[in-house]
Structure 1
Amino acid sequence: MELDEIHSILIIGPTSSDKNVDLSTALYDTVDILHQLGYKISIIVEDPTSLLSSGDFYDKTIVEKVSGENVLKYVQKYHPDAILPTVGDRNALGIVASLNGKIGKTRVLGPNYAASLATFKRELFVKRLTKANLPVIKFVSSDDEKEIYSFIRSIGFPIIARRRYSNRHSSGWTNINNLFELDNFMAMEDIDDTKIEIERSIRGFSEYSFTILRDRFDNSALIGTIEDIEPIGIHHLDSNLISPAVSLNDSKLQRLRNFSIKLARAFNVVGVCTVHFAYNHVTNESYITEFIPRLSEETKFLEYATSYPLATAVAELCLGYHLDKLQLDAGNSFNGATEPFVDHITSRFPQWKNDKQRYLGPSKTSNSSIVVNGFSLEEVLNKGALNDKLNNNFERYNELKKLDDDELFEKIIHPTNWMLDVLLEALRRNFEKPVLSEITGINLPYLAALQNIIDNSLIIREGEIDGGNVERMVEMGVKGVGHSKLLLDSPDIVTKTVVKNKRAVSVANNQYINHNYFVTSGISNELELSDRKKIIVRTPIITSKTDIMIRQFVLFQLAKSIDQNGLEPIIIGREPWNSPLRTRRKVVEIDDPHMEIKSLDLIDSDSILNIIDLSKNMVDTDDDRVFQFSAQEIKNIDLTGNTTVKIMVISDGQNYLAPSVIYRGKRDGHTYEISSVNNFMTVEDRADFAGLISQELEKDNHVDIYNFELVKSNGHWLVTKKYRGMTNDIIRHELASSVHVIDTLVKLLLGNKIGSDLSLEDIFNNFDTKYLLTIDKKRYKLLDKDEIQTKLHELRKKE
């Protein structure tokens, strides 16, 4: 079945960019299944904190810049049988393209040389699709101004353009609507080794993406579809996304599905391939705009929406498994050719750091996103993009109401991140839906859903709720977001808020139980819980990619530890978490954007031992079972120094451990952080740190995590910062130390104790053999004890 000659695999990991946070669980699932199947795995990665505790699976971890040069050095030194780039970012495909003919007998699994190169070389992409009779947009890449203007005359405006630099980076796409805008773009400062790329703009077309799995025997399956509510011309990740694509009828869906499979065949992609389409519903024109032959943000979203274990399947397909004979682990088989059927809608809407309007274009500007589920378009829009609790939509409504029709029309023509609110206001003023659809490219089903939301708001406002409309309103998620006191008080059984199972018909295996639920409205509750005692973990709204990485790491450690200690972990989140497959069958996940689960009494209070709150909002403060995990600042003294330490402390209320001490030194214009230096501390430093910590904890008598920052001033250590709970350093502390603070915390919450009368060696004890060196928070190195000793000696000589 599998490729017998493959025994050792080098994984090209993601770069240190925060854009790659969605690959962390995919990476864990990938190396987990490879480890279970008996492969020797190595990884080259820039930031080891992105590995989500998968470090135990690796034979070697190389912390270097993820580049073709470093990958080639590794191949020439260790001669792995294969390279797997599917869990790297776009940079991994560039590396594969650069290694053609240089790596001897080492194989590339998944995307081959041609597929990888075509993601960067538009000319190759267009040529290969044209040869395969697939629809593609005309394109030119040139540094010849006459050639560029001649091409534009042949296709006409509007167009999109960008500068492509010799190092594969680009300026990002720019919309150009007329000759004046083109002249301004061309007049921008020129740079050597730069080409201008021009292609026809298809702004106003609908945008879809299809994700296909394919094995080396040419068997394929459609795993899921995604639709952008806003049209092409807006960056894919700044648009509100819907899965499945609800505006495609069956004939259109099958047409695009066939194109996707044909593209995967044209490039001989084995594994995963996400294909982007532009579709004009008036003329029935369709074009393939790009393809992604690797795991990505979209596959992560689809894995959550469909419950299909994508990362695990992709790893096995790359190794030669048949699509219908995959394994969830080293023992349980499943039929991966079973295409998922979902009975619900999943929506992903972008988030920005401030509430101001911003114009949207081909370049991504959003910081993060939130995902919600429902049974209708109205429900997911009410829960997500039009939810005042998350997006301040009421303030948007008040601002837009002040505009006259011409000013509002300007907002429709030039879309902003308030587009759905703008359309709501336009519909309130009786703008015609077909005209709005033609101008914006937004399909009529979404405009009809917005009209229904307006009509419902009027019914609620005027109190005209009766048996004839209450069920329809509940279907639209009105009860689910708590808009109406009338509905909340209604005795009608359909207004009950319940929890529904989000499991799709995804795999032909009864043993794959995905405990994934979401809060909606209806009659029957489907929440399934064991008779084990429970620890509930509440999670926050995510505001940045850094927050997501920290939350993923903490949730995984908590869920794993709670389960290992014999309890049932229940994760209740405002933004869902797609946990690694190993945990997904043990943890109960409930997507609850408005924390309604608190008032539903669906979880027996007597079965709950503790509630761990990561939400950054103090709730249930009168419940002594609640443990506030997010950081609360206790002390902050404005004192800086060239030498500082960060100490994580875990306390049972009487005694404490300090298993991770991070050394930080500023030397020669650079900042060095070494984790964890417990084994390199002097006796005097240990005594000083212990005395200061004991003094700070003198009045604290509860189980807690603390983070201290100490500064060395005039030869003495001073405590300048003290936090109760988790800080952003949690990943560095947890990965750097062999003593896992999060697991220790769970044990202490269950009543275990830290020993009394511990020696200084016991308090600061760990068993580390590798140490993480960070330079300027950008460059990372994993060093052994001797290497760290040398580096510390160099830094201390300069104190």
Structure 2
Amino acid sequence: EKNQKITVCFIENVDPMGVHTGDSFCVAPMLTVPRSLQNRMQELSYRIVDVIGVVGGTNIQFAHNLEDDRLVVIEINPRTSRSSALASKATGFPIARISTKLAAGVTMDEIPYWKEGTLDKYEPSGDYVVVKFARWAFEKFPQAQDILGTQMKAVGEVMSIGKTFKEAFQKAIRSLEIKRYGLGVRELRALSPEQLKKNLSVPSSERIFLMYEALRRGSSIEELYQLTHIGKWFIKEMKELVEFEEEILRYPWNRLPSQKLIRHISFSFHDKPEVMKRLIDIGIFESVLCQYNLLDRSNEEAIAYAKGKGLGVAVMGPVGGGRLAVSDILKEATGPDVKSTPALALRFVFANKDVSLALSGMENKEMVEENA
């Protein structure tokens, strides 16, 4: 009735056309798409929504040809979809809740918005980068081909947030829980140049790691662009990671200069616990922030080490362990009054006397009190 429309999030697929969105490596906000093209897509999206008559959330996907500037609509989801969940997590915008209010007849100029007064004035903002990376399980399906196409093969996905693309990218790789702490994979070094090139030409769950190995061997940005059609800016960012890794590999690990070690962590390699101990031993930090929850206890020893050195320890993602069901065994271990999985996860983290602070990730004080 009031013709009010807002854009919650612009998401850019790093993989080219031909790879299903569910398998595609994505970033938000768009990092290489010009503002003029984003405005064009936004205008077309609003016209599409008007024609269809959608009230609530809609996800519209475009394909853009860099050669002739052709723009094609490839998908319209006039509902709260998987991409909507990603946009909600990336921005903190409650798409499903707002869609419900709109369906009930509430208009956006009647919904409060802390930044501009009412929701109809909302615009995407944020000083961070979000990366979504798919999680596959081809090892569990030996007859399935590790080739990505228009049929989705991912069994899940991870989302990471960082100040830069490099940081968020490295966090995403670590979060996959595939025992890889970065993009470098030792096993890929055994591939011949011909086999490496052949594998790169086909989209797969390993292609990003293969690209890193090719860059390590000296492949150019242009060469990898022609093989993969992944944007040159993203390949350049990966190349800079390779160059820095090669730089620090020139030093014995126990003699790595403190400045280079700190820069290593600033790229968010999310390395092993022993690296965290080395950083603590530099002696310039007063606190540490690390991941620790029911499903990832790898930093437990390093947390105790930090506390022993007099550092405060803050934990991020404590409710990551809240994905577990509240079983009788876990109730016995944490207390019979634990009723929800977030409560279970928080109880586990604070049972560790060396933890000073936990970043709950919850939306408001009431949610924290409910699960405390």
TM-score, normalised to structure 1's length? Answer: 0.36
State the partner residue of 2:238. Answer: 450
Matched with 1:406 is: 194
The answer as to 2:131 corresponding to 1:347 is yes
Amino acid at match of 1:304: K
Percent identity over the alignment is 19
Q: CA RMSD in A?
A: 4.0
* CA 741–391 in structure 1, closer or farther in 2 if over 3 Å, else same: closer
**TM-score (ref. length: structure 2):** 0.72
User: What's the counterpart of residue 381 of structure 1?
Assistant: 169
Give me the whole-angstrom Cα distance separating, in 1, the residues matched to 2:282 and 2:33. Answer: 37
Deviation track 1:691-743 (CA, whole Å, cap 9, x = no partner) reads: xxxxxxxxxxx7766xxxxxxxxxxxxxxxxxxxxxxxxxxxxxxxxxx9727
Q: What is aligned with 2:78?
A: 293
Greater RCO, 1 or 2 (C-alpha within 8 Å, sep 6+): 2
**Residue 96 of structure 2 corresponds to residue 311 of structure 1:** yes
Does structure 2 retain, via aligned residues, the 8 Å contact 1:235–1:364?
Answer: yes
CA contact 1:345–1:376 (8 Å) conserved in 2: yes
Q: How do residues 448-597 of structure 1 correspond to structure 2 at under 5 angstroms?
A: 448-463=236-251, 465=257, 467=259, 473-478=264-269, 484=275, 487-491=279-283, 497-498=288-289, 538-540=293-295
SS of alignment partner, residue 411 of structure 1: helix
Q: Which amino acid aligns with 1:437?
A: Y
**Per-residue deviation, 1:372:** 1.4
Aligned counterparts, 1:374-773, within 5 A: 374-385=162-173, 390-392=178-180, 397-463=185-251, 465=257, 467=259, 473-478=264-269, 484=275, 487-491=279-283, 497-498=288-289, 538-540=293-295, 601-602=312-313, 742=339
Q: Which residue of 1 aligns with 2:52?
A: 267
Among candidates 360, 365, 368, match of residue 153 of structure 2: 365
Are 1:337 and 2:121 counterparts?
yes
Residue deviations 1:571-627 (CA, integer Å, cap 9, x gap) = xxx9xxxxxxxxxxxxxxxxxx978888563469xxxxxx996587xxxxxxxxxxx
After superposition, what is the alpha-carbon deviation per residue over 1:43-80, rounded to whole angstroms, capped at 9, x for unaligned? xxxxxxxxxxxxxxxxxxxxxxxxxxxxxxxxxxxxxx
The letter of the residue matching 2:83 is E
Q: 1:354 to 1:224 in 2, by over 3 A?
A: same
State the 1:272 CA deviation.
Answer: 1.4
When residues 387 and 632 of structure 1 are mapped into structure 2, their CA distance, relative to the original with a 3 A threshold, is same
Give the alignment of 1:57-206 within 5 angstroms: none
Q: Provide the rounded CA distance (Å) in 2 between the counterparts of 1:304 and 1:597.
A: 28
Higher helix share: 2
Q: Which amino acid aligns with 2:160?
A: V
Deviation readout 1:280-335 (Å, 9 max, x if unpaired): 2333222110110111111111111111121221122223333222158xxxx842
Please give the alpha-carbon distance, in whole angstroms, between the structure 2 residues aligned to 1:393 and 1:459. Answer: 18
CA deviation profile, 1:162-213 (whole Å, cap 9, x unmatched): xxxxxxxxxxxxxxxxxxxxxxxxxxxxxxxxxxxxxxxxxxxxxxxxxxxx
Corresponding letter in the other structure for 1:239 = S
Q: Which runs of 5+ in 2 are unaligned?
A: 348-372
Greater share of residues in strand: 1
CA distance in 1, matches of 2:133, 2:91: 17
Compared with structure 1, are the counterparts of its residues 217 and 482 closer, same or farther at alpha carbon in structure 2 (3 Å cutoff)?
farther
Q: Matches of 1:231 and 1:438 in 2, distance apart?
A: 12
Name the SS of the counterpart of 1:339 in structure 2: coil
Separation of aligned partners in 2, 1:280 and 1:497? 45
Counterpart-to-counterpart distance in 2, 1:365 and 1:429: 30
Cα distance in structure 2, aligned partners of 1:358 and 1:490? 43
**1:276 matched residue in structure 2:** 61
CA contact (8 A) 1:220 1:337 kept: no
Q: Kindly state the Cα deviation for residue 497 of structure 1 after the two structures are TM-superposed.
A: 4.4
Q: How far, CA to CA, are the matches of 2:43 and 2:18 in structure 1?
A: 25
CA distance in 2, matches of 1:594, 1:389: 14
Spell out, residue by residue over 1:380-418, the C-alpha distance to the aligned partner (whole angstroms, 9 max, x if none).
121122668545368982332111111111111111101
Task: Write out per-residue CA displacement over residues 144-173 of structure 1, whole angstroms, 9 at most, x where no aligned residue.
Answer: xxxxxxxxxxxxxxxxxxxxxxxxxxxxxx
Q: Could you say what secondary structure the match of 2:61 adopts? A: strand
Describe the superposition over 1:456-498 as per-residue Cα deviations: whole angstroms up to 9, x where unpaired: 222332236465x6675444224677684655544456x9745
Give the secondary structure class of the aligned counterpart of 1:284: coil
Indicate if the aligned counterparts of 1:480 and 1:497 stay in contact, CA closer than 8 A: no
Q: Structure 1 residues 466, 540: CA separation in 2 closer, same or farther (over 3 Å shift)?
A: closer
Residue pair 1:235, 1:360 contacting (<8 A) in 2 also = yes
Distance 1:361 1:411 in 2: 15
Which residue in 1 is equivalent to 2:350? none
